[in-house]
Amino acid sequence: MDSIIVRKSRLVGQVELSGAKNSALKLLTASLLTDESVEILRSPNALLDMQVHISMLKKMGKTCIEGGNYLKIEENNTITNELLWSERSIRNSLLILGSLTTRFGEGRVPLPGGCNLGDRKFDLHAMILEQMGAKVWEEEGYLCAKSTGKLKGCDIYLPIRSTGATENAILCGTLAIGRTTVWNPHIRPEILDLIEMLCKMGAMIEVFGQKCIVIDGVERLKGVKHTVVPDNMEAITWAIASVITNGDIEILNFPFEHLEVPLVFLRESGMKFYRGQNSLIVRGGSPYPVEISTGPYPGINSDMQPLFAVYGACSEGESKIVDLRFPGRYGYAEELARMGMRYSMEGDLLKIHGGKPLKGTSVKALDLRAGMAFLLAGLVADGETIIENAWQIERGYENLNEKLMKLIV
């Protein structure tokens, strides 16, 4: 979808959370580590990024059977150890490289987004493979890796808490010879979900908080049936939407254990919520200014801060946001200013001067989270809000239009 139109609305009713995209994509990659069947429940198959990844698996020789939120991945024939792919890519291809190399001793995948080997996001993945004994090189738009025999376990010291690098080190370590210890890992619910599924498959993995993850390599991994964790980003989105629209939403399958810290901040900033048996009921409330800084789990995820910015814009007073993980990640603020949000910058500090009514206009979704921030703003703005590049939102929110239509009163 190229664009969507959002109008001022109140949201009331029940909404069921989809499986977390950031978890499901990694589980699909993990299916490459076994020749047995992998069944994934609560799989957000309708998402654009999921469809790209499913197509990638098929391209390598896997058979994928979809049905609603069910996905079965089988290996009926020998799969290839290279991903020959010229269509839309996702950064998950780097994890595919790690999985192929640890299972087959070599792999070849397209460079994601035209990155070069010296780029930081890229370099960590190459570092992991090289430290485990593989040679890594770039060749005609592809990233290649090859090891003599199996990868070898080692101590991997991550210079930054990188989600992707942590995941790749885990995937590589499962079938490596000996013990792999990942120091300074980035622990998040999606990574814990990946570890849980891998352990069901026979992997030997132990987590020591943010200190380290220890993986003892095994000879092979077996098939598995696994349910994806609920999407905590979708959960916090509906919770904020309920407050700013003066709504009444019951969010089913709410992942309380993953959102304890964000909920504390939102409760102290005016959100009124109640805990059901397996749900969060957000009933009204009045948004107060927020002061947050993003940080490692269980803190506030960097992806959440654009949503908190809209919450702050809807409150009377000054809100402050500092993104400690990605300083200066405030490109969305300029677009929100077109809708009437007043803000200022002090170094890496974003100040939002709330209380001024928002007005509908045309805005461009810079990325997934910015796009959803604009949609939230559109639900409280006067007039029509037109969001261009709306396909960005489809990357992370399954069946969004259908869920919204059921809630709008």
Structure tokens at 332: 């969305």
Query: Which value, to the nearest 10 degrees, does the dihedral of the CA atoms of residues 177, 181, 186, 190 take?
Result: 40
Q: Which amino acid is at 265?
A: F
- Of the candidates 262, 256, 255, 181, which has an alpha carbon nearest to the alpha carbon of residue 215? 181
Residue whose entry in the numeric block shows the structure tokens 């991945």: 73
Measure the CA–CA gap between 222 and 34, rounded to whole angstroms.
6
Query: Which residues partner with 283 through β-bridges?
Result: 248
Q: How many residues does the chain have?
A: 409
Per 3-state DSSP, the chain is made up of helix, strand and coil in percentages (nearest 5) of 35, 30, 35
Measure the CA–CA gap between 327 and 308, rounded to whole angstroms.
16
Give phi and psi for 302, each to the nearest 5. -55, -35
- DSSP symbols for 207-276: EETTTEEEEE--S----EEEEPPB-HHHHHHHHHHHHHTT-EEEEET--GGG-HHHHHHHHHTTEEEEE-
Q: At what angle do helices 21-30 and 93-104 cross, to 10 degrees?
A: 20
Q: Give the residue numbers annotated as catalytic, written as ranges.
A: 115
